[in-house]
């Protein structure tokens, strides 16, 4: 029986390995992590991450050929294939590349541990998103410490999206495997191909050299984020000119050369990877002297920052230029619907912007806990991607913030509502009931374009919806830049 071990039991390691276990009953899969609470949760009824469909997959395999454990060394030692899916955050501390380069501390320590505990040859698979040529560094660590054991390193970046991870893993657009172009490298690539071939059609399993695989992952995230920044940049122009960004992006999407996906204007992109991977790309470009290319990709992040600031400024300027002591309901805190992940969510920046103007916030998200929200609002930028158990938990809480478990409670007596995540349940709220219980004038700021603007205006709300024609009230307020 082939044995697989995956180091890192989070959004990538957990679902990916659960699906491998489901699709390959002949393979034994162990998912390991240094976080005891996280592994305990994987072994309980309350999984540590929310992902539609994940519960059912885990239930089917756990205890049969899928195991979650903190005994990292034992499972690495016994495995034929070791996936490494640890965090690769942006480097926060001072030093070379701080604020841009990927911090490979977690990866390096995993590689050293693999070399230390291994007693048989292994294929080591880079699942984390890493800078180009990381495999080369990892290979050096493994071979210099190998005591004669042979390691083949592969790059197998993950393209799943949170919220649709199980669907994406069941039916991937492609599986990408990069390896050394040597007989041993080819053999290792084939071994990993054989795993995916249990359910992925062969023509969707692409093989490349190591660097192409690593760079492809950064390129995909950069291209996706760039589409969002492009439509968001358009949304600002639509508001200034009276065009409707929904109509513009629909017209654009009908061009078969462009296609319909990732063209919704919003308050900005979040997601754990977009910003960090683009910063990483920028750093690699700079290191290679490609300053114009670096500048081009930097702009994608700048527009995203601009969009988040523009939204917060719009809220303040619409409400007589102050939200001091006003209650603002925040509907949605996760970076997208169907996940509880808040890493780099635009909600953090918008909330911090409003708190900076002394607003009182009442926050409701169906999947994000009070602790998580408080931690996010007190944490420094970039710290979100370091494992929680390795950080001191901030003892401070933001007093002007309350978290509630119901949209109606959040909006009661509020002056304004900010919709920051596109949860389906927000589309079907009883806005008449909400309006009746709010302070007047009552404002809705829709950062995801999910409400029916005309209906809400009819009820009496003053509505701002990203990239849509402004109503008279908003036109009369100071311009937002």
**In contact, 174 and 203? CB cutoff 8 Å:** no
Please say which residue, 82 or 238, places its beta carbon nearer to ligand NAI: 82
> Does the annotation list 342 as a binding residue?
no
Residues 277 and 102: their CA atoms lie apart, in Å, by: 8
Residues 194 and 440: their CA atoms lie apart, in Å, by: 63
With CA atoms as reference, report the closest residue to 380 among 73, 53, 30, 98.
98
3-class SS string, 202-222: HHHEEEEEHHHHHHHHHHHHH
Among 110, 195, 200, 414, binds ligand NAI (CB under 6 A): 110
Please say which residue, 13 or 268, places its beta carbon nearer to ligand NAI: 13
Please say which residue, 270 or 353, places its beta carbon nearer to ligand NAI: 270
**Min separation Cβ 102 and ligand NAI, Å:** 8
**Min separation Cβ 104 and ligand NAI, Å:** 10
**Should residue 75 be labelled a site residue for ligand NAI when binding is judged by CB under 6 A?**
no
Residue 350's SS3 state is helix
Among 13, 178, 346, 416, binds ligand NAI (CB under 6 A): 13
**Should residue 90 be labelled a site residue for ligand NAI when binding is judged by CB under 6 A?**
no
Give one DSSP letter per residue of 223-279, joined into a string.
HHHHHHHHHHHHHHHHHHHT--HHHHHHHHHTSTTT-STT----S----TTHHHHHH
With CA atoms as reference, report the closest residue to 234 among 256, 253, 257.
253
**Should residue 87 be labelled a site residue for ligand NAI when binding is judged by CB under 6 A?**
yes
**Interface residues for ligand NAI in 192-221 (CB under 6 A)?**
none
**What Cα–Cα distance (Å) separates residue 2 from each residue in 20, 30, 70?**
12, 11, 20
Provide the mask over 143-182, with x wherever binding to ligand NAI is found by CB under 6 A and - wherever it is not.
Answer: ---------------x-x-x--------------------
> Does the annotation list 343 as a binding residue?
yes
**Should residue 118 be labelled a site residue for ligand NAI when binding is judged by CB under 6 A?**
no
> Does the annotation list 273 as a binding residue?
yes
Q: What residues are annotated to the active site?
A: 273
Question: Which value, in Å, is the radius of gyration of the alpha carbons in the chain?
Answer: 24
* Known binding positions: 8-13, 33, 38, 86-90, 128-129, 162, 273-276, 343
Q: Which residues bind ligand NAI (CB under 6 A)?
A: 7-13, 32-35, 38, 72, 85-88, 106, 109-110, 128-129, 158, 160, 162, 272-273, 385, 387
């Amino acid at each position: 029986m082939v044995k697989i071990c995956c180091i890192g039991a989070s959004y990538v390691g957990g679902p990916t390995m659960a699906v491998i276990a489901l699709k390959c009953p002949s393979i034994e899969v162990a998912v390991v992590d240094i976080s005891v609470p996280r592994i305990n949760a994987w072994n309980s009824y309350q999984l540590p991450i929310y992902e539609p469909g994940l519960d059912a997959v885990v239930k089917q395999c756990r205890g049969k050929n899928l195991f979650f454990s903190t005994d990292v060394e034992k499972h690495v030692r016994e495995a034929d294939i070791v996936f490494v899916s640890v965090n690769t955050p942006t480097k926060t501390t001072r030093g070379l590349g701080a604020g841009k380069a990927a911090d490979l501390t977690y990866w390096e320590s995993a590689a050293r541990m693999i070399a230390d505990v291994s007693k048989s040859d292994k294929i080591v698979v880079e699942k984390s998103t890493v800078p180009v040529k990381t495999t080369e560094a990892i290979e050096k660590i493994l071979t210099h410490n190998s005591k004669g054991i042979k390691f083949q390193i592969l790059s197998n970046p993950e393209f799943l999206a949170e919220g649709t991870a199980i669907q994406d893993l069941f039916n991937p657009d492609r599986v990408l495997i990069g390896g050394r172009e040597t007989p041993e490298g080819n053999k290792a690539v084939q071994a990993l191909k054989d795993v995916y071939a249990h359910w992925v059609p062969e023509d969707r399993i692409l093989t490349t050299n190591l660097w192409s695989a690593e760079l492809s992952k950064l390129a995909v995230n950069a291209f996706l984020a760039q589409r969002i920044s492009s439509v968001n940049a358009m949304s600002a122009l639509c508001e200034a000119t009276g065009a409707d960004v929904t109509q513009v992006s629909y017209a654009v999407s009908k061009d078969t050369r462009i296609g319909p996906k990732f063209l919704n204007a919003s308050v900005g992109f979040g997601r754990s990877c977009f910003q960090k991977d683009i910063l990483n790309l920028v750093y690699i470009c700079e290191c290679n002297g490609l300053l114009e290319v670096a500048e081009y990709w930097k702009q994608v992040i700048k527009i995203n920052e601009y969009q988040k600031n523009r939204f917060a400024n719009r809220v303040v300027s619409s409400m007589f230029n102050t939200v001091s002591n006003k209650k603002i309901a925040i509907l949605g805190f996760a970076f997208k619907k169907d996940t509880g992940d808040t890493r780099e969510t635009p909600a953090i920046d918008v909330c911090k912007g409003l708190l900076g103007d002394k607003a009182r916030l009442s926050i409701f998200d169906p999947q994000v806990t009070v602790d998580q929200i408080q931690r996010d609002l007190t944490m420094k930028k970039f710290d979100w991607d370091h494992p929680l158990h390795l950080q001191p938990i901030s003892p401070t809480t933001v007093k002007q913030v309350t978290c509630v478990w119901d949209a109606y409670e959040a909006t009661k007596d509020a002056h304004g509502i900010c919709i920051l995540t596109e949860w389906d349940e927000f589309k079907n709220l009883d806005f008449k009931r909400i309006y009746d219980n709010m302070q007047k004038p009552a404002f809705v700021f829709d950062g995801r374009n999910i409400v029916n603007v005309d209906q809400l205006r009819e009820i009496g709300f003053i509505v701002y919806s990203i990239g849509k024609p402004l109503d008279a009230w908003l036109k009369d307020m100071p311009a937002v830049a």
